[in-house]
Amino acid sequence: MNTKFRKLIIASGVALALGAGGGAVAGDSMSANVNDARMEARISTTYALTPHLETYDITVAVQEGKATLTGTVSEDINKELAEQFALNVDGITEVDNQLVIDADYVRPESEDSPTFGDRITDATITAAVKSKLVWTRHADGLATEVSTESGVVTLEGTAESEDAKNHAGRLAADTRGVVSVDNQLEVKAPGSAEEPGAVDTAMDKTREVAGDTGDYITDGWISTKVKSTFLWSRGVSGMDISVSTEDGAVSLNGPVGSEAERELAIELAEQLRGVNSVDASGLVLQPAAQTQ
């Protein structure tokens, strides 16, 4: 896929994702074909924003809510992730996962192919930070505007406590591609905002970015968001940790390179909406030196 076309997909997909929460235009006035195209764009954008999927050429086709995935990936976990992310898109009812697993697969590179660092744009960083913020259990107390320039993320708006403000800053700082965070959130107790309507509007916009509300919190939703948070976080090797959830209880299993990585994985999982507890007994300390 050439660079110009790839950038067009990412740019248009992000634009669609930013307006994904507007249900008013998704009614009878929108044709089924347009709905399908919109879902294709959202799935493709998710893959483009996910570090461990964006290196693969995965083709997505949606017809009447059924997503068909074709292409080649190198591991079964990549195939599973692609399917889970597709299922998590509102409107997708079924996934026909035809992805082929080839352990030796290496995506062909051309002279104009951007590096991973080049592909992490300010727009993708902003989208990732917004999603992480709306998934946190502090989301109901945050009214946050996120902007990014040259990797510097600025958070503006309000938080209901100092802890919520600091947590938002940590989530942003731990996002891949972020150089630094300018946390301008003002701490205001619930009901103390001078313009509560404006705060509610800001929070509604943030929720629209991820297309999620509390009504969608299920065990599958939680597992997917934990995995996504790991993949977007610079301090956790998301591909090595498996995630399962039962009645809001999250279990983490797999190798971690340090105690700091283990603690970060637990913190990231605990802060998600709907998580009641985190069992990290399955995380095994396995420094990189021991795996060589």
Clarify whether residues 274 and 248 are in a common domain: yes
Clarify whether residues 73 and 170 are in a common domain: no
- Residue range 149-197, pLDDT digits in tens: 888 999 999 888 888 899 899 989 988 888 899 999 998 876 554 554 4
End position of a domain, from candidates 88, 117, 146:
117
In the chain, the number of structural domains is 3
Clarify whether residues 174 and 247 are in a common domain: no
Mean pLDDT of 29-42: 73
Are 20 and 71 in contact by the 8 Å Cβ rule? The answer is no
Clarify whether residues 229 and 202 are in a common domain: no
What pLDDT, on the 0 to 100 scale, is given for residue 192? 56
Under 8 Å CB-to-CB from 213, ≥6 apart: which residues?
207
- Residue range 110-155, pLDDT digits in tens: 555 544 444 457 777 887 888 888 888 877 667 788 898 888 999 9
CATH of the domain at 202: 3.30.300
What pLDDT, on the 0 to 100 scale, is given for residue 149? 87
The length of the chain is 292
- Residue range 63-104, pLDDT digits in tens: 888 999 999 887 777 788 888 888 878 888 999 999 998 877
Under 8 Å CB-to-CB from 118, ≥6 apart: which residues?
none
- Residue range 49-68, pLDDT digits in tens: 666 676 677 889 998 889 99
Clarify whether residues 127 and 79 are in a common domain: no
Calculate Rg over the CA atoms of the chain.
19
How many Cβ atoms from other residues are within 10 Å of residue 129's Cβ? 27
Helix (H/G/I), strand (E/B), else coil: 165: helix
Clarify whether residues 153 and 223 are in a common domain: no
Chain-centre distance for alpha carbon 171: 12
CATH of the domain at 287: 3.30.1340
The domain of 165 spans 121-210
- Report the alpha-carbon distance of residue 215 to residue 132 in Å, rounded: 17
- Report the alpha-carbon distance of residue 227 to residue 245 in Å, rounded: 11
